[in-house]
């Protein structure tokens, strides 16, 4: 079978999917961590791979940038490929001054002004929650690996550059740790199909500092987050 955006056969997509934003990061993860991995999708350059992490079959499927792109791929994976678990693994800008570069965030809920949930499910909610079941597993694995994990809300924006000007005023009362662009659509689709979705983020830049990860570092130097996500997959 295939969909408009995914050419894979149903059996080529695992029940558990990790979703980085960048197709190059997807390739990096697959080639570094998976055994017997194979390319299962290349439509529009969205290179997805399925293989074994230890003894667990996992698919690494890129989401692209923004709620619309994440919305398309997670929708088709949940609905047409019977995926039950998606963990987004991405980067974010840090807003809270208690964050440091490379900190790991486990997203409890995603706040957004996006109309995605309204369009796709008729929901007017602006705060969508991740899977507590998945989050508990990820937190447990983080403790066993001695990885520091910060739990909290994130702001999910549809407009990247607009936030340079009015981000702080618009979300100062929303109790968010930082900003990214995909979690809201993922959580919306998980709710629609009664599936499990979570989101792990690495802080790649800070709003109160000039520190930032380079594009090369964002592509290939997020191993703490990747390894935590993969080890969590073993529990599913």
Please answer whether residues 67 and 114 qualify as being in contact, where contact means their C-beta atoms are separated by less than 8 angstroms: yes
Catalytic residue selected from 84, 175, 205, 223: 205
Q: What is the pLDDT of residues 147-195, one digit of tens each?
A: 999 999 999 999 887 655 566 667 777 889 999 999 999 999 999 999 9
Over residues 108-135, the mean pLDDT reads 93
pLDDT at residue 51 tops 60? yes
Q: Pick the more confident residue, 145 or 213.
A: 145
User: Across 55-188, where does the E strand assignment appear?
Assistant: 56-60, 85-94, 104-112, 127-129, 149-156, 176-180
Look up 205 and say whether it is catalytic: yes
Q: Under CATH, which number does the domain 10-233 receive?
A: 3.40.50.1580
Do β-strands 196-206 and 16-19 pair in parallel, antiparallel, or remain unpaired?
unpaired
Which pLDDT score, from 0 to 100, does residue 54 have? 98
Q: What is the mean pLDDT of the chain?
A: 93
Which segment of 115-124, 137-146, 165-174, 221-230 scores lowest on mean pLDDT? 165-174
How large is the angle between the packed helices 23-33 and 223-233, nearest 10 degrees?
60
Please answer whether residues 107 and 172 qualify as being in contact, where contact means their C-beta atoms are separated by less than 8 angstroms: no
Q: Which residue has the tokens 């899977």?
A: 131
Residue 15 CB partners (closer than 8 Å, separation 6+): 57, 82, 83, 84, 85, 236
Domain ranges of the chain: 10-233
Which segment of 49-58, 110-119, 167-176 scores lowest on mean pLDDT? 167-176
Say if pTM beats, i.e. exceeds, 0.85: yes
Which pLDDT score, from 0 to 100, does residue 95 have? 86
């Amino acid at each position: 079978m295939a969909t408009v955006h995914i050419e894979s056969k149903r059996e080529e997509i695992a029940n558990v999917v990790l979703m980085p934003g960048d197709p190059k990061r997807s390739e990096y993860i697959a080639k570094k961590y998976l055994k017997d991995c194979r390319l299962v999708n290349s439509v529009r350059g969205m290179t997805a791979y399925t293989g074994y992490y230890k003894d667990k079959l996992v698919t690494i499927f890129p989401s692209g940038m923004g709620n619309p792109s994440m919305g398309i791929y997670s929708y088709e994976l949940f609905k047409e490929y019977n995926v039950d678990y998606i963990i987004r693994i991405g980067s974010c800008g840090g807003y809270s001054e208690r964050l440091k570069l490379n900190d790991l965030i486990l997203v409890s809920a995603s706040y957004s002004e996006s109309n995605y949930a309204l369009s796709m499910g008729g929901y007017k909610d602006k705060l969508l929650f991740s899977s507590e079941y998945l989050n508990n597993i990820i937190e447990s694995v983080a403790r066993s690996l001695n990885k520091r994990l910060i739990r909290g809300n994130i702001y999910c924006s549809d407009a990247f550059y607009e936030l340079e000007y009015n981000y702080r005023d618009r979300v100062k009362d929303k109790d968010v740790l930082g900003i990214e662009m995909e979690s809201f659509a993922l959580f919306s689709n998980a709710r629609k199909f009664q599936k499990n979705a979570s989101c792990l983020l690495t802080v790649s830049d800070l709003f109160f500092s000039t520190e930032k990860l380079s594009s090369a570092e964002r592509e290939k130097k997020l191993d703490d987050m990747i390894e935590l996500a993969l080890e969590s997959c073993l529990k599913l």
